[in-house]
Chains A and B, each alone.
Chain A
Amino acid sequence: MLTLLGVAVVVVGFAARFNPLLVVVVAALVTGWAAGLPPLQVLAALGKAFNENRFVSAALLVLPVIGVAERAGLQERARMLIGRFRRLSFAPLLIGYMAFRQMTAAIGLTSIAGQAQSIRPMIAPMAEAAAESGSRPLSAERREKVRALAAATDNVALFFGEDIFIAVGSILLMVGFLAQEGLNLDPLQLSVWAIPTAVAAWLIHSARLMLIERRLRSEAGEDRA
Chain B
Amino acid sequence: MIKLGVVYVLAGLVFAAFALLSATDARNPRRLGNAAFWGLVALSFLAGDRLGDLGNGLLVLGLALIAGFGLLGRGEPATTTPEERVMLARRFGEKLFAPALTLPVVLVLSLLILKPLHVGGEPLLDPKQATLISLALAAVVAVAVALILLKQPLISPLQEGRRLMDVVGWAALLPQVLAALGAVFALAGVGNVIGDLVTTWLPMDTRAAAVAVYCLGMAGFTMIMGNAFAAFPVLTAGVGAPILIRRFGGDPAAVCAIGMLSGFCGTLMTPLAANFNLVPPALLELKDRYAVIKAQIPTALALLMANMVLMYVLAFR
Contact = CB atoms under 8 A, between A and B. Distances in A.
B205 interface: no
B281 to A, nearest CB: 7
Interface string B47-64: 011011111111111011
B96 A149 contact: no
B147 to A, nearest CB: 7
A135 to B, nearest CB: 21
Contacts of A215: none
Given A115-B279, A191-B257, A50 B56 contact: yes
B164 A66 contact: yes
Contacts, number: 422
Contacts of A190: 253, 256-257
Contacts of A78: 97
A58 B104 contact: no
B253 A148 contact: no
Contacts of A32: 184, 187-188
B35 interface: no
Given A43-B58, A173-B229, A208-B299, A24 B253 contact: no
A117 B104 CA distance: 10
B64 A72 contact: no
A85 interface: no
Interface string A61-83: 11111111111111111101100
A40 interface: yes
Contacts of B198: none
A7 interface: yes
Report, as a range, how many residues of chain B touch the other chain: 35 or more
Contacts of A110: 131
Contact of A149 (B99, B281, B295): B295
Contacts of B122: none
Given A169-B229, A170-B229, A59 B135 contact: yes
Given A120-B284, A147-B284, A43 B54 contact: yes
B181 A77 contact: no
A28 B184 contact: yes
B36 interface: no
A155 B276 contact: yes
A193 B314 contact: yes
A178 B256 contact: yes
Nearest to A143: B286
Given A3-B188, A3-B193, A72 B291 contact: no
Nearest to B87: A73
Given A109-B108, A147-B286, A152-B295, A49 B184 contact: yes
Contact of B257 (A24, A58, A117, A194): A194
B303 interface: yes
A58 B67 CA distance: 20
Contacts of B176: 50, 53-54, 56-57
Interface string B244-285: 010000001110111011001001100110111111110110
Contacts of B7: 55, 58, 61
A21 B152 contact: no
A197 interface: yes
B170 interface: yes
B1 interface: no
A77 B87 CA distance: 10
A56 B227 CA distance: 14
A151 B292 contact: yes
B256 A200 contact: no
A1 interface: yes
Given A56-B179, A67-B156, A148-B291, A122 B97 contact: yes
Interface of A: 1, 3-4, 6-7, 10-11, 14, 17-22, 24-25, 27-28, 31-32, 34-35, 37, 40, 42-51, 53-78, 80-81, 109-113, 115-122, 124, 144-145, 147-152, 154-156, 158-160, 163, 169-170, 173-174, 177-178, 181, 183, 185, 189-194, 196-197, 200-201, 204-205, 208
